[in-house]
């Protein structure tokens, strides 16, 4: 058996007809950038998430950069975030000339620990970027009340959590502004790079709409602010429009796979993700933590099972951030997670026999 980390070919089969039809239309119309499909995608996702503003852009990293630009983050500012996430969450802060101020994560959720945020706040704190890591919602009630208490805006990095929700709303609707990625391996993955900024605040939405086109407003070649070029191609938008109606079903299948693993691995000496039978976790990744991680990864590789390590080095220890003065031991929970985390394939197209093989192989490792 050969089980990849994600099976994009299987997913493409399901949506191929619709994508190709849309692409043919885009090519025959020759409206190639920021056209009707970008607008359709923006409208559909704004309605789904429940916010008034959705603005497509070139990728998720740009979505974070545009969000921070809209909030006027600049040199000398501090932005609080988690050290246990993909690089772009913190590099976007550094690119603004600001300092990423890391706060350790919770043991269970692997998300930023709300109990540690307040002591990291200083007069220089200008934003908090939270990440719903692996598709699991952060404790938004506590985070929002901290933001409110100190008057600090909340940025949601929803690159991994489109569709995750609780009784109060969808990921992307809680904070002031949110950054989404359509990187092909995401739960709503495109046919290339792509991203989107979402906001419930009209002022921020309007600003981002200008910032993504060099700061131009409605009058061409008059620049109200210095922006960037971060537009989305119609070919990519039309593929996402074709895939979007499947997102809910894909997310539910991912959660069902994750619950099945939890049920069948629960007696083993591994830390399993905490999963409720709802969509507060949409299983972007199914990450277990195990002391003998590297040996288990090699064992599964021999069994034809691809696994992933998200993330092998927490961000406070990245060489490029050494000037910020962090050191080993500063964020012990994140450091421990980096040494023990292992993502098993959880994509919606997994067949029963493949899931059985994954479970049986993990069990066999511990039997041995
Ligand atoms: C948590 C997180 N933030 C930001 C990004 C950046 O998105 P992109 O790769 O589209 O630039 C990603 C995805 O790679 C991510 O997982």
Residue 179 CA to ligand 1 centre (angstroms) = 9
> Cα separation of 82 and 84, whole Å?
5
Residue 196 falls inside a structural domain:
yes
92 lines ligand 1 (CB under 6 A): no
Residue 353 CA to ligand 1 centre (angstroms) = 31
* One domain for residues 164 and 127: yes
Predicted confidence at residue 338, as pLDDT, reads: 98
What is the Rg, in whole angstroms, of the alpha carbon atoms belonging to the chain? 21
Percentage of the chain modeled with pLDDT above 90 = 99
pLDDT band at 218 (very low <50, low <70, confident <90, very high): very high
Residue 61 CA to ligand 1 centre (angstroms) = 6
183 lines ligand 1 (CB under 6 A): yes
* One domain for residues 237 and 250: no
Pairing of strands 195-199, 53-57: antiparallel
Whether 97 and 124 have beta carbons less than 8 Å apart is answered as no
Pairing of strands 286-289, 154-157: unpaired
Residue 2 falls inside a structural domain:
no
* One domain for residues 236 and 321: no
Q: Would the CA dihedral through 80, 81, 87, 92 be positive or negative?
A: negative
142-171 tens-digit pLDDT: 999 999 999 999 999 999 999 999 999 999
Give residue 308's domain range: 246-367
181 lines ligand 1 (CB under 6 A): yes
CA-59 nearest atom, ligand 1? 10
For all residues of the chain together, what is the average pLDDT? 98
Q: Taking residues 49-56, report their average pLDDT.
A: 98
Q: What is the CATH number for 191?
A: 3.40.640.10
Residue that terminates a domain, selected from 228, 245, 262: 245
Predicted confidence at residue 368, as pLDDT, reads: 74
Helix (H, G, I), strand (E, B) or coil at 183: coil
> Cα separation of 215 and 228, whole Å?
7
pLDDT band at 277 (very low <50, low <70, confident <90, very high): confident
85 lines ligand 1 (CB under 6 A): yes
341-359 tens-digit pLDDT: 999 999 999 999 999 999 9
Predicted confidence at residue 91, as pLDDT, reads: 98
Residue 42 CA to ligand 1 centre (angstroms) = 19
Residue 253 falls inside a structural domain:
yes
CA-186 nearest atom, ligand 1? 13
> Cα separation of 314 and 112, whole Å?
13
Residue 106 CA to ligand 1 centre (angstroms) = 21
Predicted confidence at residue 93, as pLDDT, reads: 98
Residue that terminates a domain, selected from 215, 230, 245: 245
Residue 310 CA to ligand 1 centre (angstroms) = 12
pLDDT band at 140 (very low <50, low <70, confident <90, very high): very high
* One domain for residues 79 and 170: yes
CA distances (Å), origin 69, targets 26, 173, 299: 31, 19, 45
* One domain for residues 148 and 229: yes
Residue 3 falls inside a structural domain:
no
Residue that terminates a domain, selected from 190, 222, 245: 245
Predicted confidence at residue 364, as pLDDT, reads: 98
7-32 tens-digit pLDDT: 999 999 999 999 999 999 999 999 99
> Cα separation of 291 and 149, whole Å?
39
> Cα separation of 171 and 180, whole Å?
10
Helix (H, G, I), strand (E, B) or coil at 145: helix
Residue 299 CA to ligand 1 centre (angstroms) = 29
Predicted confidence at residue 136, as pLDDT, reads: 98
Counting the structural domains of the chain, the total is: 2
Residue 179 falls inside a structural domain:
yes
CA-64 nearest atom, ligand 1? 4
* One domain for residues 209 and 94: yes
Predicted confidence at residue 263, as pLDDT, reads: 98
Predicted confidence at residue 334, as pLDDT, reads: 98
Q: Taking residues 64-88, report their average pLDDT.
A: 98
157 lines ligand 1 (CB under 6 A): yes
The answer on pLDDT for 70 being more than 80 is yes
Prediction pTM value:
0.98
* One domain for residues 44 and 184: yes
Q: What is the CATH number for 261?
A: 3.90.1150.10
* One domain for residues 217 and 233: yes
Tokens 């830390």, located at residue: 271
285 lines ligand 1 (CB under 6 A): no
């Amino acid at each position: 058996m050969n089980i990849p980390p994600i099976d994009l070919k299987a997913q493409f089969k399901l949506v191929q007809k619709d994508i190709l039809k849309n692409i043919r239309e885009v090519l025959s119309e020759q409206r190639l950038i920021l056209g009707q499909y970008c607008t359709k995608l923006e409208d559909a996702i704004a309605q789904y998430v429940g916010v008034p503003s959705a603005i497509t852009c070139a990728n998720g990293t740009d979505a974070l950069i545009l969000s921070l630009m809209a909030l006027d983050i600049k040199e000398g500012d501090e932005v609080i975030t988690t050290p246990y996430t993909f690089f772009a969450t913190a590099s976007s802060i550094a690119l603004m000339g600001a300092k990423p101020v890391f706060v350790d994560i919770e043991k269970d959720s692997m998300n930023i620990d709300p109990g540690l945020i307040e002591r990291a706040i200083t007069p220089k704190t200008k934003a908090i970027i939270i990440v719903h890591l692996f598709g699991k919602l952060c404790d938004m009630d506590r985070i929002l009340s901290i933001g409110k208490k100190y008057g600090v805006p909340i940025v949601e990095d929803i690159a991994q959590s489109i569709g995750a929700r609780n009784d109060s709303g969808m990921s992307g609707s809680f904070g002031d502004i949110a950054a989404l990625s359509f990187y092909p391996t995401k739960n709503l993955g495109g046919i290339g790079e792509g991203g989107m900024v979402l906001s419930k605040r009209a002022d921020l939405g309007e600003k981002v709409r200008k910032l993504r086109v060099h700061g131009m407003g409605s009058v061409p070649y008059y620049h109200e602010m210095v922006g960037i070029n971060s537009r989305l191609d119609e070919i990519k938008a039309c593929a996402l429009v074709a895939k979007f109606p499947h997102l809910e079903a894909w997310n539910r299948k991912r959660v069902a796979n994750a619950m099945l693993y939890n049920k069948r691995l629960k007696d083993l000496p591994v830390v399993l993700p905490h999963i409720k039978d709802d969509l507060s976790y949409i299983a972007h990744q199914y990450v277990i933590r195990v002391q003998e991680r590297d040996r288990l990864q090699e064992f599964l590789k021999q069994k034809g099972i691809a696994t992933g390590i998200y993330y092998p080095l927490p961000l406070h220890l990245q060489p490029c951030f050494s000037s910020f003065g962090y050191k080993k031991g500063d964020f012990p929970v994140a450091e421990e997670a980096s040494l023990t985390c292992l993502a098993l394939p959880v994509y919606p197209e997994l067949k029963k026999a493949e899931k059985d093989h994954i479970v049986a192989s993990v069990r066999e490792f511990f039997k041995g």
